[in-house]
Structure 1
Amino acid sequence: MSQCCNPGQAADNVPVRSHQRICPNDGTKGKPVELITLKSLLIGAALEKLDPQSTYTFCPSSNCSVVYFSNTGQTFTTVELKVPVFQKDSNEQIPSCYCFDWSRQRIREEIEQTGTSTAVASITAHIKAKRCGCEVNNPQGVCCLANVQQTVQQIQRSLSSSSGTSAS
C-alpha cells in the first residue's frame, strides 16, 4: 500500500507524467491519481479498456460525470465505478470516508445525538495505526480527511443555522 495518509502526502505528490490536468468534459482542474486506484474501483467492462501506460487524473467537479481522464483523452464516468463518488453525489449515504464508513448521514446523526462529531479523531487514529487504504477505496486515490472535515463543518453550520431559525 502507498503512503496515502502520511503527513505531507497530498494528491499533488502522486507521480504524473507531463499532461494537462484539465477535465476534457467541463474544464475543471483535476488531481493526479495512481493507477492502482482505477484498477481497484473501475467495473470490469471499464477495467478492460484501461490503458496502464496512460497517466490518469481525478475530476472533482460535482457538475461533471467524468471521474477519471487520461493524458490520451480516455475518460471514465460515474457509471463505470464500483462505488458512488463523494464529490459527485450529494446523497447522505455516500461515504465521506470510504475506509471507515463515515457517511454524511452517520456524521449528521452523531452531531444531532451528541452535539459533536468524532469522525475526524476516529479516522486520524486509524491513519496513525496504518489501517487506511485510501488509494484502493477512495475514488480520489488519496486521504479523505479533508472531505470529512469539510462535511463535519457543513453539517455543524447547517444544524446551527436551522436551530437558530427555529428559535425565532
Structure 2
Amino acid sequence: MDCCTSSNHEGVAKKECPSCGTRGKNVQLITLKSLLKASALETIEPDNSYVFCSNSACSTVYFSGNHSQSFAEDDLKVPVYQKNPSMGVPVCYCFNWTRERLSQAIETDQQPTDQIKAHVRAGRCGCEVNNPQGACCLGNVNAFVRALEKG
C-alpha cells in the first residue's frame, strides 16, 4: 500500500485547533519525526496524537490531541503549502512540484498530474514523511492546477 491510497488517509480529527478553531486532520507521528527541526522534535510526546491545521490564516501547523503542544511553520524543516503562499513552496513534496514549477508546466501544456500519478502507481511517493499534511498531495496539486487553468 502506498501513501496515496484512500485507505491510508488518517481523516478529519475530532479536535479543533486551539489557535483558530479549525477542525484538523490526524497525522502519523512519523510525519512529525520526519519534518520537525531537532529543537521541536526533542519536545514531542510520542504517546500523544497529533493533528494538522490546514487553515492558511493560522500560524499553528500541528497541535497535540490533548492541546498540550503546538508547532508552527518555523518548527519545520520545510515550508508548509497551506501556510506559505510563496511560489517556491512545494505543492507536491515527494517530487518537488512547486507552485512555480506547476505554473511553468501548465503554460507549456505539460501534464504534471499525470507524471505524479505515474510515480504514485510505481510506489515512489512518501507523502507521510515528506508532506507536512502527512497525506497524499494529489488533491492539492489538482486544485492548484485547476485554479491555474481557470486563470
Query: What range is the shorter-chain TM-score in?
Result: over 0.9
Percent sequence identity over aligned pairs: 47
CA distance in 2, matches of 1:23, 1:71: 9
Q: Does 1:37 align with 2:36?
A: no
4+ aligned runs moved over 6 Å, structure 1: none
Q: Secondary structure at the match of 1:106?
A: helix
| 1:25 alignment counterpart | 19
| 2:3 alignment counterpart | 4
TM-score by length of 1: 0.84
Q: Secondary structure at the match of 1:87?
A: coil
Rg larger in structure: 1
| 1:155 alignment counterpart | 148
CA distance in 1, matches of 2:149, 2:125: 25
Q: Does 1:146 align with 2:139?
A: yes
Structure (1/2) with the larger helix percentage? 1
| 1:62 alignment counterpart | 56
* Structure 1, unpaired ranges of 5+: 14-18, 159-168
1:130-152 CA-partner distances (Å, limit 9, x unpaired): 00000000000010000000010
1:10-67 CA-partner distances (Å, limit 9, x unpaired): 3318xxxxx7420000001100000000000000000000000000000000001100
Q: Does 1:130 align with 2:117?
A: no
Q: Secondary structure at the match of 1:68?
A: strand
Q: Does 1:102 align with 2:85?
A: no
CA distance in 2, matches of 1:134, 1:57: 16
1:59-88 CA-partner distances (Å, limit 9, x unpaired): 000001100000232101110000000000
State the aligned residue count: 150
Q: CA deviation at 1:113?
A: 2.2
Q: CA deviation at 1:8?
A: 4.2
CA distance in 1, matches of 2:118, 2:15: 33
CA distance in 1, matches of 2:8, 2:113: 17
